[in-house]
Amino acid sequence: MLRSVKENRRNLSLKEQLDLYGYTFQSNLFGKIEVFTAEPQNLRTIFAADFKNFGVEPMRLFVFGPLLGEGVMTTDGASWAHSRALLQPVFSRTQITDCSAFEIHVTRLIDQLPRDGSTVDLQLLFAKLALDSSSEFLFGESLKLLSATPTSGAQTFWHNYGYAQRGVGRRLQLPRWNVFTRDTKFWDSCAAARKFVEQYVDKALSRHPEKESDRAILAYGLSKITKDRNKIRNQLLNVFLPAHDAIAVLLTNVFFNLARHPDVWSRLREEILELGHDELTFERVKALTFLQYVIKETLRLFPTVGSVGRVALRDTTIPTGGGELGTSSILIRKGDSVRTSFYALHRRKDLYGENAELFDPKRWAKLDPPRWSYLPFGGGPRVCPGQHLGIAETSYAIVRILQTFQGIENRDPVNEFVENYKITTESKNGAKVCLIPVEE
Ligand code: HEM
């Protein structure tokens, strides 16, 4: 376990353990009981059927608290339900019609892609794309990291946020040791990131509500409901955490795979070119069948969120994995943890076939995985509220890049995916490619 933390290969090592001990096993690390599972029946219980007994607050509020405070990510019960309800209108309004703001960011990204055969690591550019886009929709102003004139303080904020997020990731893996408590840089980074966001809260609070489209901006929406500065800041930071790199990681992983599967690139490009020169919309790109297979397959093998944890809020049970045969229910005592692995679930041969470890998007033409066996966005009441937005933006960016470039070459000497766990799981080696432009 310590090695997996040190090497940041948490998904892989948890899968190795689940393969070795069975799809549900219990560990006792210095008195801390944790049950690990990649069993659909158990996932259904934890995320939906017995949702109220499996919370996050006892674990997340301590771990994420210094950066996020209280909000949708860190609380349970009535407090969580209140946060989730606050977010709902924003997510349904942005789901998903107007792609004009996103188009500006994608154009800036495409302008920065080299056309001279040189190598580019797409990871960094996708990170900026996700930050530019999510900051606009959350704070009301884009960080504009892809532009020649980024917003003042944006680079420093990005740096601070990254440091704080890595610290939070460590606290999540080793909460008992809490190794970062004495790292003053961690606390300073959290404080600086929070302060940066406060300027947008102040702007939102001093605004006079006007345009209909304002409601699609989370800061403006929240400022109409409450005047509590800290509360708004915390809610913004709570959504910024899952929002700011989700599409960056997904896009990087898609291009990581495309660079290693030229046949998939060609088929995908054929489908995209059939769109012709008509104006792109989120609806049109989401309707591209093979593109959706490519995204689904990427999320299957490389789920952006590889595993999530819950803590039992009361004594309860999960339905299977216990007893001598491994089929009896298991007692989970109040305070014990369960950790679910989407990464291991999505690679189970009994669910996805003997070639489960292979990247093969066309499998989705016939594949209809049983309920609770494919969960890249989680499930139940806490299912990702940003999934439609995430898929729409990812699809849109892929279409625009494949319209502009006719080919891709892998330029990474390491062929296999090496994970870097930081709450989300990114590619340690990025996505180093050469893109071949369309001949004019
Ligand atoms: C496109 C890639 C994305 C993936 C794969 C993804 C995945 C997930 C997963 C697995 C969860 C559940 C975590 C849990 O059960 O504890 C989650 C929660 C969440 N996601 Fe996403 N997400 C994505 C995009 C987004 C975007 C773009 C946003 C916001 C704009 C967002 C906002 C959230 C929020 C606020 C939660 C917490 C929900 C709650 O606890 O009630 N996500 N996401």
| pLDDT per position as a tens digit, 364-390 | 999 999 999 999 999 999 999 999 999
- Please give the structure tokens belonging to residue 374: 């494919």
- The values of phi and psi at residue 25, to 5°, are -145, 160
For residue 185, the model assigns a pLDDT of: 93
Would you write out the chain's pLDDT as a tens digit for each of its 440 residues?
Answer: 677 666 777 899 899 999 999 999 999 887 888 999 999 999 999 999 999 999 999 999 988 999 999 999 999 999 999 999 988 877 875 546 778 889 999 999 999 999 999 999 999 999 999 999 999 989 999 999 999 999 999 999 999 998 998 888 778 776 555 655 678 999 999 999 999 999 999 999 998 766 666 667 899 888 888 899 999 999 999 999 999 889 999 999 999 999 999 999 999 999 999 999 888 999 999 999 999 999 999 999 999 999 999 999 999 999 999 999 999 999 999 999 999 999 999 999 999 999 999 999 999 999 999 999 999 999 999 999 999 999 999 999 999 999 999 999 999 999 999 998 777 888 999 999 999 999 87
> How remote is the CA of residue 407 from the centroid of ligand 1, in Å?
32
Whole-number Å distance between alpha carbons of 136 and 284: 23
- Which residues approach ligand 1 with their CB closer than 6 A? 72-73, 84, 239, 242-243, 246-247, 250, 304-305, 308, 376-378, 382, 384-387, 389-390, 394
Asked if 275 and 284 count as a contact pair (C-beta separation under 8 A), the reply is yes
Whole-number Å distance between alpha carbons of 240 and 218: 10
In tens, the pLDDT along 147-197 reads 999 999 999 999 999 899 888 877 877 655 565 567 899 999 999 999 999
What are the CA-CA distances from residue 389 to residues 90, 95, 135, 384 (Å)? 11, 6, 14, 10
Per DSSP (E only), the strands in 53-155 are 54-55, 120-121
Asked if 48 and 342 count as a contact pair (C-beta separation under 8 A), the reply is no
How is residue 304 annotated by DSSP? S
Whole-number Å distance between alpha carbons of 327 and 8: 32
Testing ligand 1's pocket by substitution, the residue of 384, 389, 394 carrying the most ligand atoms inside 8 A of its CB is: 384
Domain 2-437: CATH superfamily, name plus number: Cytochrome P450 (1.10.630.10)
Residue of minimum CA distance from atom 13 in ligand 1: 378
Whole-number Å distance between alpha carbons of 69 and 81: 16
Query: Which atom of ligand 1 is closest in space to residue 94's alpha carbon?
Result: 30
Residue of minimum CA distance from atom 31 in ligand 1: 386
Query: Which atom of ligand 1 is closest in space to residue 134's alpha carbon?
Result: 30
